[in-house]
Amino acid sequence: MSAVLFLAALLLSVPVAIVLAITAIWYIWESGNAVLFDSFAQKMFGGLENYGLLAIPLFMLTGELMNEGGMTRRLVALARVFVGGFRGGLAYINLLANMFMAAIIGSATAQIAVMSRAMVPVMKDEGYDEGFAAATTAAGGLLAPVIPPSMMFVIFGVLAQVPIGEMFIAGIIPGLLLALSFALVITLIGWSQQFPKGTWMTRSQAIQALLAALPALLVPVAIIGGILFGIATPTESAAIASLIAFLVGWLFYRDLDPRKLGGMFKRTAANASMILFMIAAASVFGWVIIYEELPQRLAGLITSITSDPFVFLLIVNLALLLVGMVIDGIAAIILITPILLPIATGSYDISPYQFGVVACLNLVLGLLTPPVGIGLYIASSMSGTAPGAILKSLWPFLVAVTVVLVLLSYVPKLSTLLI
């Protein structure tokens, strides 16, 4: 009966956090184990007693500060220095700027919104098809959950009880692979459609753009450098990055008005609270998973099909692709990690880092695929492009992501080499 309630609530578009909580309440009542009600609130609160979760609102705040502080357009100008002169230069600029932003924002939806406003109108003005311009921007948003810092990696690290800093490091090579695959897609489409030829900046323009972007680059350097060299934890790096973003936007660029901080804090608190409520609700939902022995039952079913770790990951990829089409990626990672991770590590000896990278990248694909496809609609809304036109130009990027996913599933070292 609990399973029926769970599926029915999801199909009725009840918020996932509410679904998890009411399913747990129903299960406790149905099982007669009423003593669990006494510790229900304590269990929810206990799910949030993790220092690493503080990184989520801090990374969100950093993204808000960077956008308000004028850093986004300076990073776009920096990308133009390196790739602006190639044929289809603006498409490469879009991709490279998305890489810079992925190392700061950590949220695919926020990145798609920011970059759609910044890049799609410029590409349309220079003669690019509006569907391709929006598709390139939306695809670039898929870098955010893989290139550190990543909010999905933070949540997975907490749920899987692995160091978040090491989880970030595990995403570096996969993130670069994904960016290279997107660059290849742009190159092939550029050759076939004869994209406009870009122009290189003059030396003085390039130096000026580089100097203007240097303060903005302090933010990703503080985040990634602090974690890589063990100077700071991910949470501390996020706090340092938000402080740098505030000071640079306010004192150096002078684009950030301190009077707007109240609104930024409010948006950050509202967005972060939704994620944290889901994690708290997932803690009590864990009772259902434990008492019903879902991982053990599912492990028995899957191991009867295959003993090959690669085939197992292919099955997981297919299942997660379907899940990601109807459930938000963050909600989905909260749901599937306690169920599938024990099977991956216990029955197939798969590294939790490899599993985390594959699962997070796979689930975020749902942002760009119907029927939900919230990232697709964000790109459409921000750019004024029809969703159908974006989807028509998006499929080569989705193929590239699929190839990278298979490669990451087959070669564990791509996720674990730097750890």
The model's pLDDT over 130-144, given as tens digits with 9 standing for 90+, comes to 889 999 998 988 888
pLDDT at 271 over 90: no
The C-alpha atoms of residue 418 and residue 173 are separated, in whole angstroms, by: 8
Residues ≥6 apart with Cβ < 8 Å to 262: none
Looking from the CA of 252 toward its CB, the CA atoms found within 13 Å total 19
The C-alpha atoms of residue 319 and residue 344 are separated, in whole angstroms, by: 14
Q: What percent of the chain lies above the pLDDT cut of 90? A: 23
Q: Encode pLDDT of 305-320 as tens digits.
A: 888 999 999 999 988 8
How deeply is 271 buried, as exposed, middle or buried, from its count of CB atoms within 10 A (0-12, 13-18, 19+)? buried
Contact call for residues 333 and 355 (beta carbons, < 8 A): no
pLDDT at 13 over 80: no
Which pLDDT belongs to residue 355? 96
Which pLDDT belongs to residue 371? 64
pLDDT band at 409 (very low <50, low <70, confident <90, very high): very high
Q: Which of 380, 395, 410, 413 is nearest to 139 (CA)?
A: 395
How crowded is residue 290: how many other Cβ atoms within 10 Å of its Cβ? Answer: 11
Please provide the average confidence, as pLDDT, over all residues in the chain.
85
The C-alpha atoms of residue 109 and residue 115 are separated, in whole angstroms, by: 10
Residues ≥6 apart with Cβ < 8 Å to 16: 10, 278, 281, 327, 328, 331, 334, 335
What is the pLDDT averaged over residues 50-79? Answer: 83
Q: Encode pLDDT of 31-47 as tens digits.
A: 777 777 778 888 888 87
The C-alpha atoms of residue 53 and residue 273 are separated, in whole angstroms, by: 11
Q: What percent of the chain lies above the pLDDT cut of 70? A: 98
Taken as a whole, the chain contains a residue count of 419
Peptide bond before 174: cis, by omega within 30 degrees of 0?
no
Amino acid at 80: R
- Range with lowest mean pLDDT among 210-219, 343-352, 378-387: 378-387
What would the DSSP string read from start to end of 283-328?
HHHHHHHHHHTHHHHHHHHHHTT---HHHHHHHHHHHHHHHHHHS-
pLDDT at 372 over 70: no
Residues ≥6 apart with Cβ < 8 Å to 49: none
pLDDT band at 106 (very low <50, low <70, confident <90, very high): low
Q: Kindly state the tokens that stand for 166.
A: 């090491």
Distance of CA 52 to the CA centre of its chain: 16
Q: Which of 312, 335, 60, 94 is nearest to 195 (CA)?
A: 94
pLDDT at 257 over 70: yes
Q: Which of 208, 226, 176, 180 is nearest to 62 (CA)?
A: 226
Q: Which of 98, 411, 28, 65 is nearest to 268 (CA)?
A: 65
Enumerate the β-bridge partners of residue 197: 87
Which pLDDT belongs to residue 403? 95
pLDDT at 279 over 90: no
- Range with lowest mean pLDDT among 114-123, 128-137, 184-193: 114-123
Q: Which of 214, 348, 352, 292 is nearest to 30 (CA)?
A: 292
How far does the chain reach from its first CA to its final CA, in angstroms?
A: 43
- Range with lowest mean pLDDT among 228-237, 369-378, 406-415: 369-378
Enumerate the β-bridge partners of residue 87: 197
